[in-house]
Amino acid sequence: MRIAITREVSPSIGRCELTHLARQPIDVERARAQHRQYEGTLTVLGCEVYRLSATPDLPDSVFIEDVAVVFAELAILTHPGAPSRRSEVPAVAELLENYRKLVAITAPGILDGGDVLRIGKRVWVGLSGRSNRAAVEQMRAILAPFGYLVEGVPVTGCLHLKSAVTQVAEDAVLINPAWVDGALFAGMDVIAVDPAETYGANALLIGADVVYPTAYPRTRERLEQGGISVHAVDVSELAKAEGAVTCCSLIFEA
């Protein structure tokens, strides 16, 4: 059974952390409607969705991917780079412990799950403003017994590694080459975003299908021309909070 853990949009999402975007008003009810549509798409694609409730003191908590990274063997609880987000971890940990052994990243390590890209037994960790080399070393020690290779990679111009590159098929990635070096993914098919759609590299692969924002139609066309099945969702309000489709769920096999 494929599980998807989500978290309701907080009424205080307008006070979210921002790094690369100017603050804009966020319509909370519209954001919640978009989030429900997103959850519906996860259900259509075979996920059993478990939604955690929101609280007013956790404005970024809908972006649940940042607080845990789930592998087949265990789950790693992160130590988010933004101190305001560290209180998001306990509720997610309480649910995850029903499915996985839990191991935590600790200071001086900082890690956001949005900086972690796993493809098979390779794990890339973005060295961004939210994740550092100390966390990479901790992840390497945690995952080495299970045969994973963990590599820290520079990220520029965006919040997280998955803002710059995501997996879109078993052997393919979608990338903004201005933000991360495509040579890191040698041996895979590399699909570049349309130059006019800078933020279009974030896609969520579920089985053989991809959940993808409606905001980037030119890049979506590139995906479809590559034979990829795309399910488009409107996440425009969540994007104002530097959110994207991978951020809003933790997906794993039970």
Instruction: Note the pLDDT tens digit of each residue in 98-109.
Output: 999 999 999 999
Strands 116-119 and 102-104: unpaired
Residue 105 vs residues 111, 167, 196: alpha-carbon distances, Å: 7, 24, 37
Tens-place pLDDT, residues 12-55: 999 999 998 889 999 999 999 999 999 999 999 999 999 999 99
Sign of CA dihedral 21, 24, 91, 199: negative
What's the mean pLDDT in 64-88?
Answer: 97
Residue 183 has pLDDT above 90, yes or no: yes
d(CA 182, CA 190): 7
Indicate if 47 belongs to the active site.
no
Rounded to the nearest integer, the mean pLDDT of the chain is: 97
Q: Which three-class secondary structure state does DSSP give residue 217? A: helix
Indicate if 160 belongs to the active site.
yes
Sign of CA dihedral 116, 15, 158, 221: positive
| Beta-sheet strand order (sheet of 68-70) | 68-70, 75-77, 102-104
Strands 229-233 and 209-213: parallel
* Contact indicator for 134, 216 with CB cutoff of 8 Å: no
Q: What are phi and psi of 214, to 5 degrees?
A: -70, -15
Of 213, 183, 252, 250, give the one whose Cα is nearest residue 6: 250
List the catalytic residue out of 16, 47, 158, 247: 247
* Contact indicator for 176, 126 with CB cutoff of 8 Å: no
In the chain, what are the domains?
2-253 (3.75.10.10)
Q: What is the pLDDT of residue 246?
A: 98
